């Protein structure tokens, strides 16, 4: 799937039934805004939310937002078809977030509906739509290989929905998040094994209280260590912190840049393994350094400036 360089550090949900939130979202800076038609919208507001989201999508992409996605209702809800039929009409639809993906058939359904709607509406010339699949239950977790292989032309990433997972498993979320360790690691590993570029971690549901900012930082750092490259957000106040932590830090970029530059000299001297600051550097470490530099450039950091410095 061609989305290798997509940056989705923060994915901010915006309830699709709230014109106030939809308007506000246009003023924010975020990699990805996900207009929500699912859990933040009551059954009575579903139809209205579809229209509001379609209207929001039809507006020009605000300059500080890289991507707008739509979270539709789950295939099992019976509402997904109506959601898709409405939002697919927007020429600006690029990304769908699909909740409660339990098996391959959920994604083949989406794939079939998209193909059918596009041909019915004569929209075949539009660009490819990408899908992020929400993993929310024990069944989803165990079906990850078939889910990841179901629609390789659509699937761009996996997203962990901790609250629904906790409900499914009858467990309670704790600040340590140890109850989610297996699920978080399995999701990040499955995404990597199937070459899916986006791995989006759980939401921090507490956002206004004392200590919530510190907890958010901890969650982001832990998710990053597990292999996630982004996090779901529910409030604008979370976005800047999330995007900062899911970008390489200045220290990381500096370390990586020194390695990328010194590596050339080591190679000229015929050294596959060499040392920097008392630590061995070899091929995997050089590869890691190259990825950090690429990611920094993607995040808009001044990589060229650093190159000159070193
Ligand atoms: O004063 P202003 O109107 O200019 O701005 C407010 C408010 O409108 C805005 N804001 C948002 N804008 C866009 N998207 C948002 N999600 C959003 N949240 C707030 O920010 C300014 C300050 O807002 P506030 O602090 O007064 O916040 P409220 O008390 O109004 O709202 C708090 C909640 C949590 C209700 C709100 O942030 C929200 O609805 N968030 C999204 C919830 C959601 O989508 N849940 C489902 C996805 S999570 C999930 O399913 C896990 C997998």
pLDDT digits (tens, 9 = 90+) for 216-263: 999 999 999 999 999 999 999 999 999 999 999 999 999 999 999 999
State the distance from the centre of ligand 1 to the C-alpha of 18, rounded, in angstroms.
9
Instruction: Give the mean pLDDT of 139-167.
Output: 98
- Check: CB of residue 83 under 8 Å from CB of residue 49: no
Residue 64, helix vs strand vs coil: coil
Lowest-confidence segment of 11-25, 124-138, 227-241 by average pLDDT: 124-138
Rounded Cα–Cα distance for residues 68 and 56 (Å): 10
State the distance from the centre of ligand 1 to the C-alpha of 166, rounded, in angstroms.
22
**Complex ipTM > 0.95:** yes
Q: Which atom of ligand 1 is nearest to the CA of 161?
A: 52
State the distance from the centre of ligand 1 to the C-alpha of 35, rounded, in angstroms.
12
Instruction: Tell the residue nearest (CA) to atom 39 of ligand 1.
Output: 15
* Given 83, 112, 282, 302, the catalytic residue: 282
Percent of the chain with pLDDT over 70: 96
Q: Which atom of ligand 1 is nearest to the CA of 237?
A: 20
Q: Which atom of ligand 1 is nearest to the CA of 15?
A: 44
Token digits of residue 3 = 């989305």
Token digits of residue 294 = 């690429």
State the distance from the centre of ligand 1 to the C-alpha of 32, rounded, in angstroms.
15
Q: Residue 35: which H helix or E strand, with range? A: strand 30-36
pLDDT at 9 over 80: yes
* Ligand 1 mutation target, pool 12, 15, 35, 100, most atoms within 8 A of CB: 15
Q: Which atom of ligand 1 is nearest to the CA of 159?
A: 52
- Check: CB of residue 33 under 8 Å from CB of residue 67: yes
pLDDT at 179 over 70: yes
Q: Give the distance from CA 15 to its chain's centroid.
A: 18
Instruction: Tell the residue nearest (CA) to atom 21 of ligand 1.
Output: 236
pLDDT at 178 over 60: yes
Please list every protein residue whose CB sits less than 6 Å from any atom of ligand 1. Answer: 12-15, 20-21, 24-25, 36, 39-40, 161, 163, 203, 232, 234-236
How many other CB atoms are found less than 10 A from the CB of residue 136? 24
- Check: CB of residue 69 under 8 Å from CB of residue 36: no
Rounded Cα–Cα distance for residues 110 and 306 (Å): 44
pTM of the model: 0.95
State the distance from the centre of ligand 1 to the C-alpha of 21, rounded, in angstroms.
7
Q: How confident is the model at residue 288 (pLDDT cuts 50, 70, 90)?
A: very high
Instruction: Tell the residue nearest (CA) to atom 13 of ligand 1.
Output: 21
pLDDT at 301 over 60: yes
Instruction: Give the mean pLDDT of 108-129.
Output: 84
Token digits of residue 86 = 């409405």
* 276 bridge partner residues: 279
Rounded Cα–Cα distance for residues 110 and 104 (Å): 10
Q: Which atom of ligand 1 is nearest to the CA of 34?
A: 44
Instruction: Tell the residue nearest (CA) to atom 29 of ligand 1.
Output: 235
Rounded Cα–Cα distance for residues 186 and 174 (Å): 19
Q: Give the pLDDT score at 128.
A: 85
Who's near 218: CB < 8 A, 6+ residues apart? none
Instruction: Tell the residue nearest (CA) to atom 26 of ligand 1.
Output: 235
Token digits of residue 289 = 């350094």
State the distance from the centre of ligand 1 to the C-alpha of 77, rounded, in angstroms.
24
Burial 204-223 (b: 16+ CB within 10 A, else e): beebeeeebbeebeebbeeb
Residue 177, helix vs strand vs coil: coil
* 212 carries an active-site annotation: no
State the distance from the centre of ligand 1 to the C-alpha of 204, rounded, in angstroms.
13
pLDDT at 2 over 50: no
């Amino acid at each position: 799937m061609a989305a290798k360089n997509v940056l989705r550090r923060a994915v901010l949900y915006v309830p699709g039934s709230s014109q106030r939130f939809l308007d506000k979202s246009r003023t924010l800076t975020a990699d990805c805004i996900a207009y929500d038609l699912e859990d933040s919208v009551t059954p009575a507001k579903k139809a209205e939310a579809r229209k509001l989201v379609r209207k929001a999508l039809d507006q020009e992409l605000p300059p500080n937002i890289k991507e707008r996605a739509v979270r539709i209702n789950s295939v099992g809800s019976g509402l997904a078809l109506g959601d898709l039929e409405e939002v697919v009409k927007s020429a600006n639809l690029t990304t769908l977030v699909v909740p409660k993906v339990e098996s391959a058939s959920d994604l083949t359904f989406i794939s079939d509906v998209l193909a059918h709607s596009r041909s019915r509406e004569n929209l075949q010339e539009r660009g490819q739509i990408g899908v992020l699949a929400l993993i929310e239950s024990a069944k989803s977790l165990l079906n990850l290989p078939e889910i990841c292989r179901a629609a390789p032309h659509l699937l761009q990433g996996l997203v962990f929905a901790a609250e629904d997972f906790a409900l499914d498993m009858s467990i309670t979320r704790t600040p340590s998040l140890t109850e989610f360790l297996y699920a978080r690691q399995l999701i990040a590993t499955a995404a990597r094994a199937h070459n899916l570029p986006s791995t989006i971690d759980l939401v921090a549901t507490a956002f206004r209280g004392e200590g919530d900012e510190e907890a958010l930082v901890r969650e982001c750092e832990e998710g990053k260590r597990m292999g996630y490259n982004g996090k779901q957000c529910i409030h604008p106040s979370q976005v800047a912190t999330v995007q900062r932590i899911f970008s390489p830090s200045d220290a990381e970029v500096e370390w990586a840049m020194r390695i990328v530059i010194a590596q050339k000299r080591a190679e000229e001297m015929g050294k596959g393994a060499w040392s920097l600051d008392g630590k061995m550097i070899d091929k995997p470490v050089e590869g890691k350094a190259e990825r950090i530099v690429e990611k920094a450039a993607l995040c808009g950091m001044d990589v060229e400036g650093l190159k000159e410095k070193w």
